[in-house]
Chain A
Amino acid sequence: MRIYILLVLLALTFASCQRNAPHVNSFYYWKLGHENDSDRLQRFNELKVEHLYVHYMDVDWSEGLKMPVPKATASIADDSSFTSRPITPVIFITNRVFERMTDAWCDTLAEKLSKKISLITYSFYKNRIERSKLDPNIPYNDDYAHVVDSYQRVKVQPVLDTLKEIQIDCDWTAKTKDKYFRFLKKFKQKYPHQQISVTVRLYPYKYPKAMGVPPVDRGVLMCYNLGGLQKAKTANSIFSTGELKQYLNAKKYPLPLDIALPIFGWYAWFSNNTFKGIIYEQPSLVDNAAFKREDGGNYRVKADTVVQYKYLREGDVLRMEYPEAKDIVNAAQLVTDKVPDYGKIIFYHWDNNLIHKYENTIKGVYNNY
């Protein structure tokens, strides 16, 4: 009966906030290895995922080379998940890149980055098409016709033309905004026909005067990572409705925005209120005698135990940091009220276990917002 009531309440919640404006269902895909997963395409279809933000690489500062360098570059995908629907490459650039590099590098970085993006995008198609020629088990998709020539060789420009948007992800500060924005301007010049978007954390959203407004086409408002992970008093560093509200009383942001919501989590491990590390979810992690659930949802370690090669001592605390399904729905309501002309709803991030855990919430939000 309780489940029934809950379902009714959820249905009512969704019904009450149904929108007419069309929007795109999207996901962040942040798996660097792009491991093969034959079910992925089917799962995309089931959840009606229409678009993907794919993590292409990180750019970090190398003190040794005195220049920004690409790191964690996406390797070649071996299925059609990334060629079957529009994707937006996402490049995460660490803030220290802009702290350390010279002004002149702002332009150079834009050049180098655009070449690297072309290369990775090209490799998605090339790898897929080449393999389908060699391996009868990999079906050739007619959709590729526009990116190959009469000899079935992959053409560069049509592949690049498949990209309609490119996203830069950087946690910039007031100190680095000048260099970051200079880089963005140059980067935008490289892509006159594409949209350039950036991620916008809640702090720059609330304080655009101090933090500046990036010179790009649009932004993604990231409604997570709200609290201090390392603070014992934080209730949930990934998401808290209360803290989200603190930020949402801002004026209209000068850029058109999309909305990113969290479906990820972990356990923050504390010993004597001191943050010791993150413990990732694994089956029955806290479901044994070594842990006891306490008021407020935290777990107390009841026996010394080694988890993921970390030595948890009796008395330590694991703070469970997964957003509740109802909080995600609530956040969707709050943020879409505040940003009614959003273009995409994006979940961070694609992971089979998380998808399983939040499946109904994802479907509900996609259907109703």
Chain B
Amino acid sequence: MPAYGLPSLLSFNYTPSYTSYNPYSAPFPPDNIRNCDEWLAYTDKSVKAKDIYTTQYETTPDDFLYAYKTNNWENFEGNSFTDWLRKKKHRNVLDYFALAKQIEFLQTGDHSGWEESSRSAIIGNAYDSLARIATTLTKKAKGDFLTNRYAFQTVKLLYYRKLYTGDTSTDPELIKFYDAHLKDKQTIVADWSLLYYALSQPDIITRNYYLIQVFDRTEEKKDYSYQWFNAEAINQLSDSLTNVKDLVLIRSIKAMMNPGRGLNDLQYIISKDADSKYIPLLVTREINKLEDWIWSPEILGFTSSLQETFFEKEKYEKDVDYNQPDTNFIFYADKNLNKDRAYLNEVNDYLNAVANKLGNKEFVTLALAHLANMQGRHDRATQLLQGIANSNDKNIARQANIEQLLALANSNDIKSTGTKDKIATLVANMQAAGDSLKNDQYYWQNESSIDIEQRDDLSEIFGLLRKRYEREGDTLTAGLLDYKSHLQTNEYGYTCKDSICYGVLSYWDKYGSADNIDAVLALKHKTNKTRFEQMLSPGVWGADDMYRDMKGTMYIRQQKYVEALRVFETMKENFWQTNYEYANYLPKSSLTSAGTLLPVKTGTGKTYTVSSKKLLIKELVDLQKQLALAKTDKEKSRLYFMLGNAQYNMSYYGKGWMAYAYGKSGGDSYGASDNYNWVYYSLHNSPNNHIENYYGLESAVKMYQTALMHAKADKELSTQCLIMLALCERIHRPYEDKRNNWVVGIYNYNSEEKPFVSNYMKKLLKQYSNTNTFTLSITTCPDIQDFVNNNK
């Protein structure tokens, strides 16, 4: 899933959550469990494993050291492990444990980086003295268990000692110590120590050799060692290795680093070691790449890292100029997609051919079912799933249920009642298995990535069902699924906690029609909903009047003011005064006035005591009626001028923009930007929304031009029309700049460096400079004075 605000899915990289997400790719239990197991064995299983874990990982160094130093173990009452440590015969073990906690304390300080040499030196000295103690104790310790652990602490301390003293040279002492005490030892502490041993190697190839071993042998240090890999050294190393185990390991790591096609890697690894613990991870990874390249953009609307996006497609089609530097992209995109589909078949065929050789049969079957679904062979997927749908392995059963949903969602009769019912059943199964939209609809932003991965499945299912119903022309179902899923596909929207909220409208605002709104309201109030309809029903419906406001606003955008008024008349009188942000942004004065833009009184002059779209639109309906009856040019000119003012006021730049849109930001990019800003908060660029009027002022200009045409001998009105026309021209200049891609080099170079010249203003200067309106304008409006200066 793309991170919010990013243009596309990110490249695949190894991350801890990646392996942890896939339960079949974590080759070992977590390191802390291995450590506790070793302690458990050392105590001859005479203590509770949980107590070891608590003491090791949930007890602060301060708490433990306080008990140790004061012999006050009150806080550890009932802890079988500390009881065991406190026995006289285990005194040496308790001393080790206390030293380990002391070191933990030293390492968990919060250092800001501003420490001066003295501070660094103090820490460096502390590491140094502890390293000396640990070195002595390693030599004195009896038995492998304690010797190994003291040796591990020593190696760690030696490493950090160098780090703090700023000495970047390698440490022969550390290397020697590791070789003497930890080399080839089968214990978690030897595996951890190997990281410091690796990082102390002077030769970069040797360092990377040990780093890949650390990656292989530990969980905890996997991510850290991965960060230290040097790509060039890994390549050189891979040419020099001969041992099959090492070859498989390094090829697996290279495969994890490979963002391109990795089937060759997989083939190599399986041919050398069909039981390699990395195979499930790499199979999943290859499938995920195919999802990114082929499937996610298609079924979820996610932005592929490789394909063009639908946003880009729109730009591409609309803006011929935009694609100038790269006119061939569509050709290549199609070609690449075909190659990727062929590659999907290749991966599927290969996995099918080696399935019998591989270990976890259910996992492989699941992978094949998923690939079949991606290939569009949904019958084959269904057939494969029969064998594993009731697996004892909950993860397999859960994913098999999702695969069945994927197969069903792509069936031809998705609109039939039977299929809808089956979909509802499978979704209920997912919920029973723990998948949820937390509290129905909330962000997951503060949760760990693992939770996100497990929790977004249901959202993604709703998202892909949305796309399917959209394709079948069922906008109602699609819109409700979109709201329910709240997938973050880089589109502006909100999750709603109550019924007055833009989120309930966002889909309809972008893609809907007035009919959809009627259907939403009908479903909302339906009493005997089917299971599928219950599934579609959101946790929070929008208020009825919120939906009605959307419907009326749709009519406003189409300039169908009579229809808009009819809708608004069914709504509560004070709806706009008491809900959402209407009261803050809907003006309480007539839209027909140019307000302070002109130094003379214009418009009907009406004012209202409450904010109301109904009252504002009613005036426009009246003006339209008067216009239909108007006989003289003068009358027509006056009415067109007022309608022009209304169009201007309801644009992005006007005081009544909220009659047209639900949000506005200084960052609105006029729907013509060369980035994706408009998908976040600007008015969506769909045909019904007429952004050419909202951002481009086209309808306002048209009205003013018509008014000017009718004004004829009325010099004052002509002046007013010309001033407003020149204003429109100047105001939406950035829109034109962006649309024409003039913004290059210095930001806004065009508007900053080139004075604005207006033909309307020239006409005004030539023919109407003696009017009262003009005289007042140049004395009271500095903007117009500027205009005049630039257009002389």
Across the interface, name the chain A residue whose C-beta is closest to B315.
A273
Across the interface, name the chain A residue whose C-beta is closest to B335.
A314
Q: How far is the CB of B754 from chain A (nearest CB, A)?
A: 12
Q: Is the CB of B741 within 8 A of A315?
A: no
Q: Which of A231, A246, A272 contacts B308 (CB 8 A)?
A: A272
Q: How far is the CB of A101 from chain B (nearest CB, A)?
A: 13
Cα distance, A232 to B260, chains bound together (Å)? 24
Cα distance, A203 to B745, chains bound together (Å)? 10
In chain A, positions 236-263 with a C-beta closer than 8 Å to chain B are: 242-243, 246-247
Q: How far is the CB of A68 from chain B (nearest CB, A)?
A: 9
B312 contacts the other chain (Cβ, under 8 Å)? yes
B332 contacts the other chain (Cβ, under 8 Å)? yes
Q: Is the CB of A304 within 8 A of B741?
A: no
Q: How far is the CB of A72 from chain B (nearest CB, A)?
A: 11
Using A123-B166, A273-B322 as known contacts, say yes or no to A315 and B335 having CB atoms under 8 A apart.
yes
Q: Is the CB of B326 within 8 A of A317?
A: yes
Using A313-B332, A314-B332 as known contacts, say yes or no to A304 and B260 having CB atoms under 8 A apart.
yes
Q: Which of B260, B744, B745 contacts A306 (CB 8 A)?
A: B260
Residues of B within 8 A of A276 (CB): 305
Q: How far is the CB of B643 from chain A (nearest CB, A)?
A: 39
B543 contacts the other chain (Cβ, under 8 Å)? no
Using A231-B674, A247-B746, A270-B326 as known contacts, say yes or no to A313 and B336 having CB atoms under 8 A apart.
yes
Using A75-B168, A274-B7, A314-B335 as known contacts, say yes or no to A309 and B674 having CB atoms under 8 A apart.
no
Residue from B7, B231, B260 having most chain A Cβ neighbours under 10 A: B260
B261 contacts the other chain (Cβ, under 8 Å)? yes
Across the interface, name the chain A residue whose C-beta is closest to B308.
A272
Residue from B329, B747, B753 having most chain A Cβ neighbours under 10 A: B329
Q: Is the CB of A67 within 8 A of B329?
A: no
Residues of A within 8 A of B8 (CB): 274
Could you mark each residue 329-372 of chain B with 1 if its beta carbon is under 8 Å from any beta carbon of chain A, else 0? 10111011001000000000000000000000000000000000
Q: How far is the CB of B267 from chain A (nearest CB, A)?
A: 17
Interface 9-mer from A10-18, A112-120, A214-222: A112-120
Q: Is the CB of A76 within 8 A of B328?
A: no
Could you mark each residue 138-176 of chain A with 1 if its beta carbon is under 8 Å from any beta carbon of chain B, else 0? 000000000000000000000000000000000000000
Interface 9-mer from B42-50, B111-119, B409-417, B653-661: B111-119
Q: How far is the CB of A298 from chain B (nearest CB, A)?
A: 8
Residues of A within 8 A of B751 (CB): none
Could you mark each residue 307-324 of chain A with 1 if its beta carbon is under 8 Å from any beta carbon of chain B, else 0? 011110111110000000
A69 contacts the other chain (Cβ, under 8 Å)? yes
Cα distance, A67 to B117, chains bound together (Å)? 20
Using A246-B746, A305-B260 as known contacts, say yes or no to A315 and B329 having CB atoms under 8 A apart.
yes
Q: Is the CB of B112 within 8 A of A304?
A: no
Residues of B within 8 A of A317 (CB): 325-326
B785 contacts the other chain (Cβ, under 8 Å)? no
Across the interface, name the chain B residue whose C-beta is closest to A230.
B675
Residues of B within 8 A of A234 (CB): 744
In chain A, positions 336-352 with a C-beta closer than 8 Å to chain B are: none
Q: Which of A67, A75, A115, A242 contacts B166 (CB 8 A)?
A: A75
Cα distance, A331 to B750, chains bound together (Å)? 23
Q: How far is the CB of A132 from chain B (nearest CB, A)?
A: 15
Q: Which of B112, B116, B306, B331 contacts A271 (CB 8 A)?
A: B306
Q: Is the CB of B332 within 8 A of A315?
A: yes
B418 contacts the other chain (Cβ, under 8 Å)? no
Q: Which of A206, A232, A305 contacts B325 (CB 8 A)?
A: A232
Q: How far is the CB of A43 from chain B (nearest CB, A)?
A: 23
Residues of B within 8 A of A75 (CB): 166, 168
In chain A, positions 36-88 with a C-beta closer than 8 Å to chain B are: 62, 65, 67, 69-71, 75-76
A233 contacts the other chain (Cβ, under 8 Å)? yes
In chain B, positions 83-109 with a C-beta closer than 8 Å to chain A are: none
Q: How far is the CB of A60 from chain B (nearest CB, A)?
A: 10
B608 contacts the other chain (Cβ, under 8 Å)? no
In chain B, positions 297-316 with a C-beta closer than 8 Å to chain A are: 305-306, 308, 312, 316
A226 contacts the other chain (Cβ, under 8 Å)? yes
Q: Is the CB of B744 within 8 A of A233?
A: yes
Q: Is the CB of A311 within 8 A of B260?
A: yes
Q: Is the CB of A309 within 8 A of B746?
A: no
Residues of B within 8 A of A65 (CB): 110, 112
Residues of A within 8 A of B329 (CB): 271-273, 315
Q: Is the CB of A69 within 8 A of B746?
A: no
Q: How far is the CB of A70 from chain B (nearest CB, A)?
A: 5
Cα distance, A317 to B231, chains bound together (Å)? 24
Using A270-B326, A273-B325, A273-B329 as known contacts, say yes or no to A69 and B257 having CB atoms under 8 A apart.
no
Residues of B within 8 A of A364 (CB): none
Across the interface, name the chain A residue whose C-beta is closest to B313.
A272
B22 contacts the other chain (Cβ, under 8 Å)? no
Cα distance, A247 to B746, chains bound together (Å)? 8
Residues of B within 8 A of A226 (CB): 745
Q: How far is the CB of B181 from chain A (nearest CB, A)?
A: 29
In chain B, positions 655-714 with a C-beta closer than 8 Å to chain A are: 674
Q: Is the CB of A273 within 8 A of B326?
A: yes
Q: Is the CB of B231 within 8 A of A116?
A: no
Q: Which of A69, A76, A243, A272 contacts B168 (CB 8 A)?
A: A76
Across the interface, name the chain B residue whose C-beta is closest to A310.
B259
Residues of B within 8 A of A242 (CB): 745
Q: How far is the CB of A138 from chain B (nearest CB, A)?
A: 13
Q: Is the CB of A306 within 8 A of B259?
A: yes
B431 contacts the other chain (Cβ, under 8 Å)? no
A227 contacts the other chain (Cβ, under 8 Å)? yes
Q: How far is the CB of A23 from chain B (nearest CB, A)?
A: 28
Cα distance, A247 to B747, chains bound together (Å)? 12
Cα distance, A116 to B112, chains bound together (Å)? 13
Cα distance, A317 to B258, chains bound together (Å)? 20
In chain B, positions 254-282 with a C-beta closer than 8 Å to chain A are: 257-261
Residues of B within 8 A of A112 (CB): 114
Q: Is the CB of A233 within 8 A of B11?
A: no
Residues of A within 8 A of B331 (CB): 315
Could you mark each residue 116-135 of chain A with 1 if its beta carbon is under 8 Å from any beta carbon of chain B, else 0? 10010001000000000000
Using A69-B114, A313-B332, A315-B329 as known contacts, say yes or no to A206 and B746 having CB atoms under 8 A apart.
yes
Q: How far is the CB of B589 from chain A (nearest CB, A)?
A: 34
Could you mark each residue 1-33 of chain B with 1 if its beta carbon is under 8 Å from any beta carbon of chain A, else 0? 000000110010000000000000000000000
Q: Is the CB of A203 within 8 A of B332?
A: no
Q: Is the CB of B749 within 8 A of A246?
A: yes
Q: Is the CB of B745 within 8 A of A309?
A: no
Q: Is the CB of B325 within 8 A of A233?
A: yes
Q: Is the CB of A274 within 8 A of B744?
A: no
Across the interface, name the chain B residue whose C-beta is closest to A228.
B744
B323 contacts the other chain (Cβ, under 8 Å)? yes
Across the interface, name the chain B residue whose C-beta is closest to A243.
B745
Residues of A within 8 A of B308 (CB): 272
Residues of B within 8 A of A231 (CB): 674, 744
Using A272-B312, A315-B331 as known contacts, say yes or no to A246 and B745 having CB atoms under 8 A apart.
yes
Cα distance, A247 to B168, chains bound together (Å)? 44
Cα distance, A168 to B366, chains bound together (Å)? 58
Q: Is the CB of B113 within 8 A of A69?
A: yes
Residues of B within 8 A of A203 (CB): 746-747
Residues of A within 8 A of B258 (CB): 306, 309
Cα distance, A71 to B114, chains bound together (Å)? 10
Cα distance, A359 to B400, chains bound together (Å)? 63
Using A226-B745, A246-B746 as known contacts, say yes or no to A69 and B166 having CB atoms under 8 A apart.
no
Extra A-B contacts (15), CB below 8 Å, given A226-B745, A306-B260, A313-B306: A76-B168, A203-B746, A227-B745, A228-B744, A243-B746, A246-B749, A272-B312, A304-B339, A309-B257, A309-B258, A309-B259, A311-B259, A314-B339, A316-B332, A317-B326
Contacts A/B (CB < 8 Å), 6 sampled: A232-B326, A243-B745, A272-B329, A273-B329, A311-B11, A311-B306
Residues of B within 8 A of A (CB): 7-8, 11, 110, 112-114, 116-117, 166, 168, 231, 257-261, 305-306, 308, 312, 316, 322-326, 328-329, 331-333, 335-336, 339, 674, 741, 744-747, 749, 753
